Amino acid sequence: MKEDRQLAKYLAHLGYGSRREMEAAIRRGRVTGQGEDLRFDGEPLDPPPGMVILMNKPAGFTCSRADQGRLVYELLPPRFLLRDPPLSSVGRLDADTTGLLLFTDDGKLLHRLISPKSDLPKTYEATLARPLEGHEADLFASGTLMLRGEDKPLLPAQLEVTGERTARLTITEGRYHQVRRMFAAAGNHVEALHRAAFGPLTLGDLPEGEWRLLTAEEVASLG
């Protein structure tokens, strides 16, 4: 039936399998329900294209599919990697950085969030190798700090000292290894880095290594 072929195509785009496999799954009764209550093997169907995922990234995982070693995508259901349009991380956290990481298959949203014109604040908690000296907050807020190898100063950033060797830094850019390079420019070294917030989003009580879908309201809050 035409409806079954259309459903098989839709399921294939969600990553459940090839169209032929989905046609067979429909014939075998693995797809049940109707409309918004569709289920696959008794489980609610994955969201349609446009979903956004929030993950509490653990250390030791990289964000590029081409890298060697453990990848953040391994923490998601394997079928998510087969979705069309594809699922991608919103920017990257390096392997040693933990915390809030977003994924989406919405290309327009992805490009808007990673665009240099995006001014969404991102907050990081840093543990440093040496005690803070007291000049860092003014330096980061000045709007004149130039990172090594670059010819454009950083936008002002807000530093909150939380301990002798700990601080919370909020930036509105996303340059390569920016937070680590900022502290290096201030004469220090980041030993541990955790992203605590992305715009209005925080991790809440989400355990490390776990993920959840954003609500429509949360997605809208990203602007």
Topology (CATH level 3) of domain 122-198? Alpha-Beta Plaits (3.30.70)
CATH topology of domain 52-116+200-220: Alpha-Beta Plaits (3.30.70)
Find the largest Cα–Cα distance for the chain.
72
CA quadruple 180, 214, 119, 161: dihedral sign: negative
pLDDT (0 to 100) of residue 68 = 75
Q: Do domains 52-116+200-220 and 122-198 have the same CATH topology?
A: yes
Positions of the chain with pLDDT under 50: none
Domain spans of the chain, in order of start: 2-44, 52-116+200-220, 122-198
Dump the DSSP string for 180-219: HHHHHHTT--EEEEEEEEETTEE-TTPPTT-EEEPPHHHH
**In this predicted structure, what is the pLDDT of residue 69?**
83
Determine the pLDDT at residue 40.
96
Per-residue pLDDT tens for 128-162?
A: 999 999 999 999 999 999 999 999 999 999 999 99
Answer yes or no: pTM beyond 0.95: no
Q: Are 124 and 196 in contact (CB under 8 A)?
A: yes
Indicate which residues carry an active-site annotation.
94
